[in-house]
Amino acid sequence: MRKKMIALMSAAVLAATTVMTAFAAPSVTVSGVVSGVQSATDKNGNEVAIKVENVSETNFTAEEVAAVEEIKNIENVKEVMEASGVEFEEGMQVADIKNVIAPEGTVFPVTITFNVEGVTIRSRVTVLHFDTAKEAWEVVESKAGERTITETFHSLSPVAFVVDKETAANGATSPQTGEPITLALAGLAICAGAVGMGVTAKKRK
């Protein structure tokens, strides 16, 4: 009987731990917010098959690796924006960094609409592009839509998506976590209580 009680308690703890882990809210990172390309057209209005890669999946040059690490620092983002005459809003964050690739022979400039979670027409967004020829980050004119950001590029390489604090939170965090965790803990408490009552009843007998 005692072994069954211990097994029950272990199962309850395992279940609660699993649920809590699955629903834990991650911090804002530079991956996953930009989910793909909605549309892309070249200078002549022809569709372009744009490829979007996660930073971890890209074989960057040493220069590009350094540039990506540099732009993760929001102070560097602020510097690039202000140097371009773009106002930096306190609380802005680098929501994502992607390597964007156009097929060989693409006629630039290319206008791309990215699917971006959390963005609305009211979002404050800034897109930065690393110009490999100039070896520097530059601000690309962009427009926020409903879960989209559209911008026009004259070349492609690493691209950083910078959004206001509220937009970053909406796009980079998981669904509400309080209720699942609370339920898990409540379930654990009920199971533990049941086990305790069983042990007490056994002692009384």
Residue 28 CA to residue 173 CA, distance in Å, equals 7
Residue recorded with tokens 């009987």 = 1
SS3 state at 20: helix
Judged against a pLDDT cut of 60, whether residue 63 lies above it is answered with yes
The label of the residue with tokens 């490829």 reads 51
Tens-place pLDDT, residues 10-62: 554 444 444 444 433 333 333 469 999 999 999 999 999 999 999 999 999 99
Q: What is the pLDDT of residues 155-197, one digit of tens each?
A: 999 999 999 999 988 874 333 323 333 444 444 444 445 445 4
Question: What is the overall mean pLDDT for the chain?
Answer: 80
List the one residue out of 118, 138, 119, 117 whose CA is nearest residue 129: 138
pLDDT single digits (tens) 125-146: 999 999 999 999 999 999 999 9
Global pTM reads 0.69
Structural domain spans, the chain:
2-25+175-204, 34-172
Alpha helix locations (H) across 84-164?
none
In whole angstroms, give the CA distance from residue 164 to residue 108: 29
